[in-house]
Structure 1
Amino acid sequence: MIRDGALKGWPVTGWRQDRSEIGEDVVIVEEPLEIQVALRGEASMEIFPIAVTMRTPGHDEDLALGFLYTEALIPEPGVIAQGLSLERPSPNEIRVILPEAMRIDRERLTRHFYMTSSCGVCGKAAIEAIFVQGYPPLPEAEPVIPIGLLCDLPRRLREAQALFRRTGGLHAAAIFDAEGRLLWLREDVGRHNAVDKAIGAALREGRLPLSRSLMLVSGRAGFEIAQKALRAGIPILAALGAPSSLTLELAQATGMTVVGFLQGDRANVYTAPWRVRMSSLASSDRP
């Protein structure tokens, strides 16, 4: 479904069959979103600007909740049922109002959060950070995905990407169940935003941890994406592109399966290969 405000017409001069022509192209909208957290007090409300991210308008509530959870500012998935609410001070602001009884680390609220993969965080500190934040333990016996089903997921992802078909300018994150059924798909100009939106949608429905699910991302599998998937309890992370070394170190330390270069007829399984059922994979490869 194409959301209002996500697309914009733009005049373009194109070159077609040895001649130029003037027409209109459809481009994806990119606008800033400020994510705020508000704490209710007895007489007033404290408001903390948390982060500004460039995003495609739409599913902003999922984006805000997914970001706050994957960055461990919402410590438990059950907080959604405890009176959390959302406000829109402006079209490019979203405010998450936390319930009074919720305990929050105020120091983290005043910290600036990185929103890209260029933050320069060192490997040791980054991997330790996920253990400090905490994550649901990944299941050791399931899910196990047949390689044929896994290789078919990029096709299912493309078929569901309505905005990408119109513009060619979006990243996507999709969460599938162990039988390959699409549960949530979110598109965004930012790869991390797409992941946060998908996880936020699951959080809003009370479905975390996603211990029998897998996530497929349209680009590469960087560390932040793996970290977010792990926080959501997702045991299998697949990407159309390559994983980074830090992603693989994190996955190896936590038992997450990482699959890269996933296409219709190929896949590279880098960690925990026992979750992918292949004829060449012996039962002794399982832990």
Structure 2
Amino acid sequence: MIPNQREILEDETSSRPLRDRSTVETLVSRFKGDEAHTAKDVLAVEEPLEIQLGYGPADSRRTKSISVTMRTPGHDFELVAGFLLTEGVVSDYADIGEISYVAGRASDLRSEEPSLSEDLILPYQPERNVVRVDLAPDVSVSLANLERNFYTTSSCGICGKASLLALRTVCPPRYLNRFQVSAHVLCSLPDKLRAAQEVFDRTGGLHASGMFDAEGHLHSIREDVGRHNAVDKLLGAEFLADRTPVHDRLLFLSGRASFELLQKALMGGIPMVVSVGAPSSLAVQVAKEFDMTLVGFLRGDHFNVYQGAERIVGDFGVKENL
């Protein structure tokens, strides 16, 4: 059975506190002008996480290594669940029978195929760097869709038209987007997210993703060295709590909005994506294709709306200055 959120947290932190796993201290030479002294600094931990998938009928189960991602340890089960959701491998939380850590080095794991992380040195706790997800016996798996970079990344060389076509084949059914938010609320989000970034406060080196309601209340936040991992953790938490699709929250990104992040938001049912950075051209195409509100360059009282401006409410007029 899928552990609840408390069980997940206790399991992931039982042998080592989460804070100790997400950060590590190091000595640095700190310069100020022509003077230097030795001081302690705190770094965000970056470790590989291998994802294994168990699938097939009860009498003929198979195990396959499907991905290795570099991530900040913590909320690993949510990360894996969010990854499977946003990649279209699962669509309902009941599709997952069990999520568990696999003990031992990658070369010792019980996968029927070569381990994707076999040549990686897994630091700290190798048994915490491999997670296996066992799907319910009746869940069918498309092996073709288990190749990690089949169309999602901006470096894959696939044109935007092909990427959008591929996304249409796996995305959830369309729905009427009624999610609205005021300009005043939008402008308040960066400070609220920043105030909740505990690990960033100690390291200065993490991306964050937050989920807000229309009134600007922060419902959840996740941090990670990878912006896509932060989103997967956030959506994975909702998925494991059987709260997807998420039609009544916006996704706030501490960085830029890429195609991959819009894809993940779409798979999770998110109606609005807001970022402090720039969107890519393909991210804007996804927003237009699937009628998602997309806001970028949110800084102070300024922001750009690339799609869905009618869902930003307030007493203001729009002046054209082209």
- Normalising by structure 2, we get a TM-score of 0.82
Secondary structure in structure 1 of the residue aligned to 2:165: helix
Conserved? CA contact 1:274–1:281, under 8 Å: no
Q: Partner of 2:97 in structure 1? A: 84
Q: Distance in 1 between matches of 2:245 and 2:168?
A: 16
Q: Partner of 1:37 in structure 2? A: 53
Residues 55 and 124 of structure 1: is their aligned pair in 2 closer, same or farther, counting only changes over 3 Å? same
Is the deviation greater in 165-174 or in 128-137? 128-137
Matched, 1:26 2:63: no
Q: Give matches, 1:12-161, under 5 Å.
A: 12-16=28-32, 18-74=34-90, 76-77=91-92, 80-81=93-94, 84-89=97-102, 90-109=127-146, 111-113=147-149, 116-140=153-177, 142-161=178-197
Secondary structure in structure 2 of the residue aligned to 1:269: strand
Q: State the Cα distance separating 1:130 from its structure 2 match.
A: 1.4
Q: Which amino acid aligns with 1:123?
A: G
Q: Partner of 1:250 in structure 2? A: 286
Matched, 1:162 2:198: yes
Secondary structure in structure 2 of the residue aligned to 1:135: coil
Q: Distance in 1 between matches of 2:281 and 2:305?
A: 14
Q: Which amino acid aligns with 1:3?
A: R
Q: Partner of 2:231 in structure 1? A: 195
* Aligned length, in residue pairs: 277
Percent identity reads 43
Q: Partner of 1:231 in structure 2? A: 267
Q: Distance in 1 between matches of 2:194 and 2:33?
A: 28
Q: Which amino acid aligns with 2:53?
A: V
Segments of structure 1 that go 5 or more residues without pairing to the other structure are: 283-287
Q: Which amino acid aligns with 2:262?
A: A
Q: Partner of 1:285 in structure 2? A: none
Segments of structure 2 that go 5 or more residues without pairing to the other structure are: 1-16, 103-126
Residues 136 and 179 of structure 1: is their aligned pair in 2 closer, same or farther, counting only changes over 3 Å? farther
Conserved? CA contact 1:139–1:211, under 8 Å: no
Residues 112 and 136 of structure 1: is their aligned pair in 2 closer, same or farther, counting only changes over 3 Å? same
Q: Which amino acid aligns with 2:69?
A: T
Q: Partner of 1:259 in structure 2? A: 295
Q: State the Cα distance separating 1:281 from its structure 2 match.
A: 4.9
Q: Distance in 1 between matches of 2:271 and 2:300?
A: 21
Runs of 4+ in structure 1 off by over 4 angstroms are none
Conserved? CA contact 1:137–1:233, under 8 Å: no
Is the deviation greater in 189-198 or in 173-182? 173-182
Q: State the Cα distance separating 1:184 from its structure 2 match.
A: 1.5
Secondary structure in structure 2 of the residue aligned to 1:208: coil
Q: Distance in 1 between matches of 2:269 and 2:54?
A: 27
Conserved? CA contact 1:257–1:273, under 8 Å: yes
Conserved? CA contact 2:171–2:266, under 8 Å: no
Q: State the Cα distance separating 1:25 from its structure 2 match.
A: 0.3
Residues 263 and 2 of structure 1: is their aligned pair in 2 closer, same or farther, counting only changes over 3 Å? farther
Q: Partner of 1:268 in structure 2? A: 304
Q: Which amino acid aligns with 1:5?
A: R
Residues 83 and 124 of structure 1: is their aligned pair in 2 closer, same or farther, counting only changes over 3 Å? closer
Q: Distance in 1 between matches of 2:174 and 2:67?
A: 28
Q: Distance in 2 between matches of 1:106 and 1:253?
A: 27
Q: Distance in 1 between matches of 2:315 and 2:194?
A: 27
Q: Distance in 2 between matches of 1:262 and 1:33?
A: 32
Q: Distance in 1 between matches of 2:216 and 2:282?
A: 27
Q: Deviations over 1:78-104 (max 9, x none)?
A: xx2355211111211111000112122
Residues 44 and 25 of structure 1: is their aligned pair in 2 closer, same or farther, counting only changes over 3 Å? same
Secondary structure in structure 2 of the residue aligned to 1:261: strand
